[in-house]
Structure 1
Amino acid sequence: MKFTAPLVGGRLEKRYKRFLADVVLEDGSAVTAHCANPGSMLGLKEPGSRVWLSLSDNPKRKLKYSWEVIEADGALVGINTAHPNKLVEEALEAGRIDGLSGFASLRREVKYGKNSRIDILLESDAGAKTYVEVKNVHLMRQPGLAEFPDSVTARGAKHLGELADMVADGHRAAMVFLVQRPDCDRLSLAGDIDPTYAAAFAAARAAGVETYAIGCDVRLDGIDAIRPVTLEIA
């Protein structure tokens, strides 16, 4: 995935109200950027951190800047949760996720379950369906170990239950964790942050939901999901 225009650098002043971030740009001007990330962003919102923003040319947008990347722990980390579905789609089409290949068609945001939409629906020539849910990951509390989630996610637990329902109906279902940072080669669940999600995850795996993780190369011109990440989940 390439950014459509060069990113604009600056320093983070603060992230607040979840979806807002005040940034001082390199030219000294101050702007408020949209932060498309509903999580806690633990470890990724320190004032003074170097950040990079995209600039929209849409005249109808109230906030023209969007926060895309932060430098943390010596690495570039993608924080925009609007990108993971596209990144996983590209990885699937390139055959980078072992176990999720050989599909004939790929559709996004397809209605299923109880008033939900699956992130990606894969179908074979014979019509067999694989329901794929994508979760963004960027929490790192131990070197090399990514963790999910970074805050309580009742919605995430609901999705796991719906994936299990698809397996019970005779379909395949998979959870793909997209790690938007290049410095992690392992992934685990943050059960201390959300034990309910950890329990729902264990139940979903026992029901036959498949799990995968893929890591990203994060650059200032784009982001690509290219590396397998080892799941360290009991």
Structure 2
Amino acid sequence: MKSVAIVLSAGVGRRMGADIPKQYLMLGDYPVIYYCLNAFEQSPVDEVILVCAESDIDYCRTQIINKYQFQKVKAIVSGGAERYDSVYRGLQEVSEDTDYVLIHDGARPMLTVDLIRRLLTQVEKEKACVPAVPATDTIKVSDEQGYAVDTPDRKTLWMVQTPQVFSCDIVKTAYEQIYQKPSPIPITDDAMVVETYTNNRVKLVMGDYSNRKITTPEDLAIANYLLKIQ
């Protein structure tokens, strides 16, 4: 079974407040993006497609891929205006003989080979699965004025992570539909695309609380701490 990972690294990261995109900030001895690429390099995944800003392609090639000798990165492509545009462009590089596609945020550096293996095992049974962890806080639903109007049962709430993994034909078909029938609500993750445009259900697989997305300076500090204790 051939599997290909699409790593998204085209985000600007305005909430980080840094001069460079968050995925290229240093985390320990390496850039943030290094860690997930290294996890895929050590995993059963066959190929990696890196999606970044067009202006960052040369930097990624020389300072990330070549410098750290990542052998599985087969293509570097420019991202689009929205996350789903970047995923779509990455999917165009996925060969027809691919069975499964993993889609991962490059700003999640604490990805482990164990999680990748578990997702690949599960996707063979379910065709579509995502890592997630149970919500630990109470969640409120608000109205347009910011008043709480509902409190969902926390036992039913999960915080979704990446990599999200799908059969290649399912995810490609779903993403083709976005441009033919645009969603009336914002698309926030790949599972939502599959849920909206196909009849496939998405299985939640236990993720890892350390598999956090770096969005703010506090997230970077937490990742540094996790890196040290691991």
TM class by smaller structure? under 0.3
Higher strand share: 1
Q: Structure 1 length normalisation: TM-score?
A: 0.25
Q: Structure 2 length normalisation: TM-score?
A: 0.26
Higher helix share: 2
